[in-house]
Amino acid sequence: MPKITILAVGKIRNSNFADAFGEYIKRIKPFAMISIQELTAESFFDNSDREKIKNKEGEKIKSFLEKRKNERIIILDEGGRQVDSKNFSQLLFEDEGREIIFVVGGTLGLNAEILNLNQTDKVSFSKMTFPHELVRVILAEQIYRAIAINKNKRYHY
Q: For 40-68, how does the pLDDT look when each residue is reduced to its tens digit (9 = 90+)?
A: 999 988 777 989 999 999 999 999 999 98
For residue 157, pLDDT over 80 is answered with no
The domain defined by 3-42+49-156 folds into Alpha/beta knot (3.40.1280)
By DSSP bridging, strand 100-104 and strand 3-9 are parallel
**0.75 exceeded by pTM:** yes
pLDDT at 148 (0 to 100): 94
What Rg value do the Cα atoms of the chain yield, rounded?
Answer: 15
**CB 102 within 8 Å of CB 74:** yes
For residue 31, pLDDT over 80 is answered with yes
d(CA 73, CA 103): 7
d(CA 141, CA 136): 9
At 84-135, the pLDDT tens digits run 999 999 999 988 788 999 999 999 999 999 999 887 899 999 988 888 899 9
pLDDT at 156 (0 to 100): 59
Nearest alpha-carbon partner for 30 in 147, 152, 153: 147
Q: Where are the domains of the chain?
A: 3-42+49-156
Kindly report which listed range (18-22, 26-30, 124-128, 133-137) carries the lowest average pLDDT score.
Answer: 124-128
Confidence of residue 73 (pLDDT cuts 50, 70, 90): very high
